Structure 1
Amino acid sequence: MARDSFDIVVVGAGPAGAVAAYAATRRGLSVALVDRRTFPRDKACGDGIGPGAVQVLRRLGLGSVFERHPAVTELTVFAPDGGRLDSVIPPIDGRPMCGHIITRYDFDNYLVRAAVSAGAADLTGVRYLGMTREPELRRVELRGSDGTTFDVDARLVIGADGAYSAVRRTLTGDKARRSRHQSIALRAYASSDNFLPGGRIGQRLVLDYSSDLLPGYGWLFPLDDGRVNVGVGMLVDELKRRDDDLKSVLAAFVERARARGIDLGELHDQRAHHLPHVGGMPRLTYPRAALLGDAASMINPVSGEGIAYAVTAAADFIDALPGDVGDSGRLNAALTRFERDFRRRYRAHFLSCRLYLEMMRHQRPATSILRALQHDPRVLHAGVNLLFGFGSIHPRTVLRILTSSRRG
């Protein structure tokens, strides 16, 4: 039997992998989409799809995923000093900014089905075992759900298989997870009528930057079925320094929310997940291979948000490919150009995230930032763009934060 051969084998069918498979198939490339899980499946996450991701998916023709999920345009932020901000999410570059809350069970399944409907070969339920390099391709070893192993050939392999990426280990040989550039988050669900349309709080995001969570935060993100995604995220190193455990941190956050009058039922479906930050981003491109999404540490260290990075990088990467991925010279040039352009394009954003994170480690500057969010719409605009898009901190933004701090 002839071995199957594809232009691209995508390993990992989360947002980065599914969008890459969808976009590549729409370009006329033959694609296999591999994931050890079958879909739909749960994925630990805050379930928030921010404005940056929404814009990219609409541009790709995938906006129907949002049709049954109301847009969230308001937020509440609690500051370390007990201050509170209630605001509409401000427009960015003249465009209304909104997010949607969709479980990853539904969201990821939609993207996988879109990729398969576009023509990608469905190899979900198949485990990646490794790959070898041949002169003009990569041979990928896989194992099916029945335990049978088989190979497929790929002119290009995309590793989009998450924070614990096996493709990344194959390409880099790096098995260590560096806690310095990682957060860990714990997500749960709870019932609450408060967040339903017409409820006491309504459809809004709630972010808690109380001092015991810095430089992390807690969140309440309302689904449209009477449930709320409840979670906390902290730097791994900070959690180790405190000798604390995330379940205790989550329990304290939930009790504080209840003390503020927010009605939350019993927590269920608690799941933790690691978040590798862009500060630990590896090399992205290799001979006939690339890393995208969480596998490439494409996660915002401030918000823990990775979907905007994932779908943007996936779409940009496929756009950058030559028409014939079998042409080694043109493919190598395209991979080199993509990595260079990606890092240059978002350098200011990544540096701004690191600066913001350092400021949020300490209560006084964190309070100053959040006080400025309350009093200065331009700072709020910049903060939302930094957390949920690709914005950067300009010197004038820092000046406005300092000015607001003196007024406070």
Structure 2
Amino acid sequence: MRLFDVAVVGAGPAGAAAALAARREGAGVLLLDKAAFPRDKTCGDGIAAEAVTVLEELGVHGVTDGYPPVDRLRLVAPGGAAVARPLPRAAHTVPRRVFDERLVRAAVAAGAELRQHTVRDIRDDGDAVTVDDRFRARMLIGADGAGSVVRRALGHPANPPGHLAMAIRGYTRTANTTEQVIVTTERRWPAYAWEFPLGDGTANVGYGEVLRGEPLSRTYLLERLDRLLPGLDPPTAVRGHHLPLSTRRPPPAHGRVLLAGDALSLINPFTGEGIFYAVLSGSLAGRAAARNTDYRRALRMRLGRHLRHSGLAALLTRQSRVVDAAVDAAARDAAVFDRMVDLGLGDGVFDLRTIGRIVSRLGHRHVATP
């Protein structure tokens, strides 16, 4: 078997970013995926500006070409409070069929060797990692999504209820072309519906909520979507997916095997965003694998403080009244809005001023409630 420097399982955003980062270090890279590209991937399709920045640092440009910027966000709280403001940096909505192929083609152009292969078994013998007795690499990166085979091979179970969400997504016509819309709901909170316009008269729409142990049916999820976003045509290309939240993450490295993206449960528990986490963790994993440096430390230095703050935000916002107060504060103060967006879509943290504004509105709403 040919020996690669780095093998990457999964060619989505995390895997493609890992391959790109490893190639920039001069490593020989094997990129494996069970699908042929282009292929659809169930997702909200929202591409935050922070994700684009990471990719540009890897030498990838134009991933959002053809899809106009979406420069506003409207957020509706469970209790009905709402805020609509310009985003600190414009986002895009790019179907994953397009976005992922652009990334994987960039990785191939950079010198990664792409193979279509379904991985079933990995073995780390201390000197290298063998994949299905067919491929061998000095380091292996598991970037194979929420149902990661690599993660299971390391002995890490899937996220339990409370740390796992379920969402459904489809496409429909819309007159909205400039505004991301997120409508939360007090019923079965935390849960929300979204409308992310592509700019061509269509939008990615969906609904998701944190699982509590019982299964959620397609019919139920579509009913909730229709209730929160009434008046839209029934969506097409409807698909469901799991979201392993970052509040329960496995160890990021074991021996010669690293995990990145959804395989590492890097889904923002505050918003469900995962593309930024995917490309960032993938780039850190690819660089660490190529250099044989400490991936745990790199991940902790880059995301550790943010993950603590997002986890705290998820814990606090389990009470829907806290979300009501935060949205109320964001409607009154643009700086609070920007902080909330940075925490939910990028690697931002809360500061004392933002916390003070939210606590103030929480107290005000408590006093005003009979």
**TM-score normalised to structure 1 length:** 0.84
CA apart distance, 1:52: 1.7
Q: Distance in 1 between matches of 2:315 and 2:93?
A: 28
Q: Does 1:120 find its partner at 2:120?
A: no
CA apart distance, 1:25: 1.9
CA apart distance, 1:56: 0.7
Matched residue type, 1:351: R
Cα separation, partners in 2 of 1:256 and 1:280, compared to 1, 3 Å = closer
Cα separation, partners in 2 of 1:246 and 1:369, compared to 1, 3 Å = farther
Q: Does 1:386 find its partner at 2:343?
A: yes
Q: Contact 2:193–2:228 (CA<8 Å) still a contact in 1?
A: no
Q: Contact 1:215–1:357 (CA<8 Å) still a contact in 2?
A: no
- Single out whichever of 5-14 and 213-222 deviates more from structure 2: 213-222
SS in 2 for 1:129: coil
Cα separation, partners in 2 of 1:399 and 1:136, compared to 1, 3 Å = same
Residues 233-272 of structure 1, C-alpha deviation per residue, up to 9 Å, x if partnerless?
A: 21111x74xx8646424323324423xxxx5222111111
Q: Contact 1:186–1:247 (CA<8 Å) still a contact in 2?
A: no
5+ residue gaps in structure 1? Answer: 91-96, 142-149, 196-201, 324-330
Residues 340-390 of structure 1, C-alpha deviation per residue, up to 9 Å, x if partnerless?
A: 242244233222222222332223222111111111112101100010011
Match of 1:179 in 2: 161
Match of 2:197 in 1: 222
Q: Distance in 1 between matches of 2:216 and 2:119?
A: 35
Match of 1:131 in 2: 122
CA apart distance, 1:399: 0.8
Q: Distance in 1 between matches of 2:126 and 2:334?
A: 56
Q: Distance in 2 between matches of 1:208 and 1:129?
A: 40
Cα separation, partners in 2 of 1:265 and 1:322, compared to 1, 3 Å = closer
Matched residue type, 2:307: F
Q: Contact 2:141–2:285 (CA<8 Å) still a contact in 1?
A: no
Aligned residues: 365
CA apart distance, 1:123: 0.4
Q: Does 1:79 find its partner at 2:51?
A: no
1:32 corresponds to which of 23, 30, 33: 30
Q: Does 1:252 find its partner at 2:224?
A: yes
Q: Distance in 2 between matches of 1:213 and 1:74?
A: 27
Match of 1:190 in 2: 172
Cα separation, partners in 2 of 1:223 and 1:365, compared to 1, 3 Å = same
Q: Contact 2:141–2:286 (CA<8 Å) still a contact in 1?
A: no
SS in 2 for 1:105: helix
Q: Contact 2:192–2:209 (CA<8 Å) still a contact in 1?
A: yes
Matched residue type, 1:365: V
Cα separation, partners in 2 of 1:48 and 1:322, compared to 1, 3 Å = closer
Q: Distance in 2 between matches of 1:186 and 1:151?
A: 36
Match of 2:236 in 1: 268
- Single out whichever of 182-191 and 340-349 deviates more from structure 2: 340-349
Identical-pair percentage: 36
Match of 1:206 in 2: 181
Cα separation, partners in 2 of 1:59 and 1:340, compared to 1, 3 Å = closer
1:310 corresponds to which of 275, 278, 281: 278
Q: Distance in 1 between matches of 2:24 and 2:305?
A: 32
2:142 corresponds to which of 142, 150, 159: 159
Q: Contact 1:214–1:360 (CA<8 Å) still a contact in 2?
A: no
Q: Distance in 2 between matches of 1:46 and 1:88?
A: 20
Matched residue type, 1:293: G
CA apart distance, 1:176: 4.5
CA apart distance, 1:207: 0.7
2:50 corresponds to which of 49, 52, 55: 52
Match of 2:14 in 1: 16
Cα separation, partners in 2 of 1:406 and 1:246, compared to 1, 3 Å = farther
Match of 1:93 in 2: none
Matched residue type, 2:280: T
Matched residue type, 1:288: R
CA apart distance, 1:183: 1.0
Cα separation, partners in 2 of 1:213 and 1:89, compared to 1, 3 Å = farther
Match of 1:198 in 2: none
SS in 1 for 2:115: strand
Residues 262-299 of structure 1, C-alpha deviation per residue, up to 9 Å, x if partnerless?
A: x5222111111111111211111122211111111111
Q: Distance in 2 between matches of 1:75 and 1:225?
A: 18
Q: Distance in 2 between matches of 1:293 and 1:264?
A: 32
SS in 1 for 2:271: coil
5+ residue gaps in structure 2? Answer: 366-370
Q: Contact 1:376–1:404 (CA<8 Å) still a contact in 2?
A: no
Matched residue type, 1:342: L
Q: Does 1:350 find its partner at 2:307?
A: yes
Matched residue type, 2:22: A
Q: Distance in 2 between matches of 1:176 and 1:53?
A: 25
Q: Distance in 1 between matches of 2:352 and 2:265?
A: 27
Match of 1:233 in 2: 208
Q: Which has the higher contact order (CA 8 A, sep 6+)?
A: 2
**TM-score normalised to structure 2 length:** 0.93
Q: Distance in 2 between matches of 1:277 and 1:47?
A: 18
SS in 2 for 1:311: helix
Q: Distance in 2 between matches of 1:175 and 1:257?
A: 35
SS in 1 for 2:276: helix
